[in-house]
Amino acid sequence: MSKRYAGIAWTETGYRVEVLDDAGRQVVGPSGWSGGQVAELIGWLRELGDGQEAPAVVLDSTNGLLDGPMTAAGLEVYRADPWLLPPRPGFGSVTAVQLAEQARTAPGALARVTAEGGTLTGRAEEFFAGVERGEPARAALTAAGGCFDHGRRDDPRVALTFDDGPDPVFTRQVVEILERYGARATFFCVGHHVAALPDEVRRIAAAGHELGNHSWSHPYLPDLTPAELREQLDRTAEELDRVGGAAPTWFRPPYGALTPEVLAALDGYPTTLTMWDVDARDWSRPGPEQIAATVLEGAGPGSVVLMHEGAGDRAQTVQALPSIVEGLLERGLELVTVGELAATPDAA
């Protein structure tokens, strides 16, 4: 049985898929999918070929939205790095054919993405070194009010934040739980999902929550040029303004990848960088009890908590959320948006 490769490119309007066999023959005609059809795309890939093994999926590092749900679904997922590929267009990845061809002709050069390592599997050392190099500039930016990690430690409030949405299933579940407790939160949305699921964005805004910018396609920012990076933010901000009724004032970098080069590219950009001091690590799906324990052990007055409600199976996060909210409220901590927490005088 020949190996098959599904190159998946992202564009302004969704995903483009091309499937080739190991001889370079097209297995099925090109197909297009919106950002809200990831579950349907996964089902299609699994069924492709009348019971044969699903094709291996090939993404690039500017697409951080598919590896989570696809590895969770048991698909074989690979990443093709920029130095293996031709130049990208100004907005979007290389073509789906180019991704499939790279896998077909040099499969050993690709990184096999794991659920534990996520999109950056195999590049962790590079990632941590880049963040360490960026620490001095980030610290200076924080001191100047351009980067927000947490609020005052005597402020009895906590900001819960949710990344990577909106999602066609989990967003409404998170919003409903928060509403049950009268809690407010900040949702850092990716433009790709905002464009595909505008009603879910409106649901977030109508419930009184805050919308933040989390880029368009969740790329590894160091792989972008300064112009590409700003285009990711600009397009997401425009879409959130159009759908949600206001341009976001907060930006969370995917993976927290603030290298000196990324910080330089963001210099003067009209949003405040938003990080966190408590990471729920819910993306690794360790179980709802562990997610709740991680948050409740780490959070205190002024904390900003990182969680996720999109780009993967977030059922464990949803299951953990009531225990998290109840545990924080029992300590007398009010749950507010990042904007409300940061508005406290002398937040530091």
Q: Name the catalytic one among 163, 164, 282, 313.
A: 163
Tens place of pLDDT per residue across the chain (348 aa): 678 999 999 999 899 999 999 889 998 888 999 998 999 999 999 988 666 788 999 999 999 999 999 998 999 999 999 999 999 998 999 999 999 999 999 988 999 999 888 889 999 999 999 999 999 999 999 999 999 999 999 999 999 999 999 999 999 999 999 999 999 999 999 999 999 999 999 999 999 999 999 999 999 999 999 999 999 999 999 999 999 888 899 999 999 999 999 999 999 899 999 999 999 999 888 999 999 999 999 999 999 999 999 888 899 999 999 999 999 999 999 999 999 999 876 544
192 is catalytic: no
Report whether CATH 3.40.50.300 matches the domain 135-342. no
Report whether 48 contacts 27 (CB < 8 A). yes
Q: Determine the Cα–Cα distance for residues 116 and 261; give it in Å rounded to an integer.
A: 27
Going 138 to 143 to 149 to 153, the CA torsion angle's sign is positive
Residue 21 a catalytic site member: no
**With contact defined as beta carbons under 8 Å apart, do 45 and 59 qualify?**
no
CA distances from 323 to 117, 184, 195 (A): 27, 16, 32
This prediction has a pTM of 0.92
Q: Could you tell me where in the chain the CATH 3.20.20.370 domains are found?
A: 135-342
Which part of the chain has CATH 3.30.420?
4-120
Domain 4-120: give its CATH architecture: 2-Layer Sandwich (3.30)
Selecting among 192, 209, 218, 308, the annotated active-site residue is 308
CB count within 10 Å of CB 281 equals 15
